[in-house]
A and B are shown apart, each in its own frame.
Chain A
């Protein structure tokens, strides 16, 4: 009793079909690309050298059947784990300092979303890494997990402190050379000025030479431009 007009229905159906087909294709393509992109997202940190060393040490079994291969002493393993924890501290500091800046930049749209994705992944990886280190520490020595990061924190800070001191003390040599040169030029300047002023106008010297010997020479900085510039560069 119903007279179905299949032909007139064909057009809408085809329309719907094409619409959904293209939607599905687009979505699957898009997702695939996104997955590939996130898989190839560059890691935030370079390879974790200390972690690799630690794990390599654990797997350094005398498997080669070598006679001279010896078991790795526990103390070495502990030292390696402590080095690993120290590197983790550096990374945590980096993540903490970068987080605020990253979030602000993302809000303003100054950086892309993939940077934020990389950051979040690094943060999550760090959490896993910390948990792993604590577990390893507890396995190596009872309750070490509670203090290993305290120790690692001090090690990180102490290393930075000593590096900074070395940097400062390293200036001594070049500063000394500069000062030698400077003093020599000061002396020659002084003698020259003394000679010339003794000849022409002896009024200027007495009032200055009283307190500081170098006063006069500083007055004519144009005569030693190279040394002044050198010092600035070093600073």
Chain B
């Protein structure tokens, strides 16, 4: 954008039927960008208003759906049907991440963090330590503070896999952000005890 009055004309054209924008160029960046543009166009067409509404207030329909899936998952978990709970959580995640991109990201973070933490728990109940660790990490990534459960869950998973050093580091980081959360401190003590025994 050297000059506000000029632009580079790009070899793009529009499909008369689907209204999708295509290009004759083989440039990778351009093709990727056009793909994103077409996706955005489709989601704009699904709107009732001509332009995306401002981020606030939010459409409550999707929020209700996500909450419901999460509750169903929680119920299944409580009844001990862990695989089923994971299925519901996964659906809830898809729905939460399928929010139109212009809706507030803070809301998405909040919802997704909760569901990931729950799914991590369900995976842990089935002794899938790898999936549990990854989900808990995703949850922490979405919500770093006030998410002690997810910090604890990844620490526990790492511990179960015998990755003591990593677990220690992880819990230490968690304690920095969460203050002296009792669950985290007790887990850290457990890990430290083990590491000490190992060294001795």
Number of A residues with CB within 8 Å of any CB on chain B: 66
Contact of A168 among B8, B54, B138 (CB under 8 A): B138
Contact of B37 among A80, A152, A176 (CB under 8 A): A80
10 A-B contact pairs sorted by A residue (CB < 8 Å): A43-B2, A56-B8, A70-B16, A72-B14, A75-B44, A154-B105, A179-B129, A214-B161, A218-B164, A218-B198
Is B134 interfacial (CB-CB < 8 Å)? yes
Interface residues on B, range: 35 or more
Contact of B19 among A51, A73, A132, A155 (CB under 8 A): A73
Establish whether residues A154 and B13, one from each chain, have CB atoms under 8 Å apart when the complex forms.
no
Q: Which residue of B lies closest to A218 (CB)?
A: B162
Write out, one digit per residue, whether chain B residues 116-155 have a CB within 8 A of any chain A CB (1) or not (0). Answer: 0000000000000111011001100110000000000000
Is A191 interfacial (CB-CB < 8 Å)? no
Establish whether residues B19 and A76, one from each chain, have CB atoms under 8 Å apart when the complex forms.
yes
Within 8 A of B (CB), among A167-189: 168-169, 171-172, 175-176, 179, 182, 186
Q: How far is the CB of B109 from chain A (nearest CB, A)?
A: 7
**A positions within 8 Å CB-CB of B:** 43, 45, 47-53, 55-57, 59-60, 68-70, 72-76, 78-80, 82-83, 125, 128-129, 132, 137, 140-141, 144, 147-148, 150-155, 157-159, 161-162, 164-165, 168-169, 171-172, 175-176, 179, 182, 186, 214-215, 217-219, 231, 235
Is B64 interfacial (CB-CB < 8 Å)? no
Assuming the contacts A48-B1, A176-B130, asked whether A165 and B16 have C-beta atoms less than 8 A apart, the reply is: no
Closest 10 CB pairs of A and B: A79-B41, A151-B102, A157-B105, A55-B7, A147-B54, A155-B101, A56-B10, A218-B162, A48-B1, A158-B101
The number of residue pairs between A and B whose CB atoms lie closer than 8 Å in the complex comes to: 152
Residues in B with CB closer than 8 Å to A165 are 97, 112, 138, 141-142
Contact of A83 among B33, B50, B97, B163 (CB under 8 A): B33
Establish whether residues A125 and B101, one from each chain, have CB atoms under 8 Å apart when the complex forms.
no
Establish whether residues A53 and B101, one from each chain, have CB atoms under 8 Å apart when the complex forms.
no
CA A141 to CA B8, docked complex, whole Å: 25
Establish whether residues B4 and A79, one from each chain, have CB atoms under 8 Å apart when the complex forms.
no
Establish whether residues B102 and A162, one from each chain, have CB atoms under 8 Å apart when the complex forms.
no
CA A53 to CA B141, docked complex, whole Å: 34
Establish whether residues A56 and B36, one from each chain, have CB atoms under 8 Å apart when the complex forms.
no
Is B189 interfacial (CB-CB < 8 Å)? no
Establish whether residues A162 and B97, one from each chain, have CB atoms under 8 Å apart when the complex forms.
yes
Residues in B with CB closer than 8 Å to A59 are 9
Establish whether residues B16 and A144, one from each chain, have CB atoms under 8 Å apart when the complex forms.
no
Residues in B with CB closer than 8 Å to A176 are 130-131
Q: Which residue of A lies closest to B29 (CB)?
A: A49
Q: Which residue of B lies closest to A173 (CB)?
A: B130
Establish whether residues A51 and B162, one from each chain, have CB atoms under 8 Å apart when the complex forms.
no
Is B52 interfacial (CB-CB < 8 Å)? yes
Is B21 interfacial (CB-CB < 8 Å)? yes
Write out, one digit per residue, whether chain B residues 62-101 have a CB within 8 A of any chain A CB (1) or not (0). Answer: 0000000000000000000000000000000000010101
Q: How far is the CB of B94 from chain A (nearest CB, A)?
A: 12
Establish whether residues B162 and A217, one from each chain, have CB atoms under 8 Å apart when the complex forms.
yes
Q: Which residue of A lies closest to B45 (CB)?
A: A75
Contact of A154 among B9, B102, B142, B194 (CB under 8 A): B102
Q: How far is the CB of B50 from chain A (nearest CB, A)?
A: 5
CA A231 to CA B130, docked complex, whole Å: 12
Q: How far is the CB of B101 from chain A (nearest CB, A)?
A: 4
Q: How far is the CB of B15 from chain A (nearest CB, A)?
A: 9
Residues in A with CB closer than 8 Å to B44 are 75, 78-79, 82
Q: How far is the CB of A182 from chain B (nearest CB, A)?
A: 7
Establish whether residues A51 and B7, one from each chain, have CB atoms under 8 Å apart when the complex forms.
yes
Within 8 A of A (CB), among B179-200: 194, 198
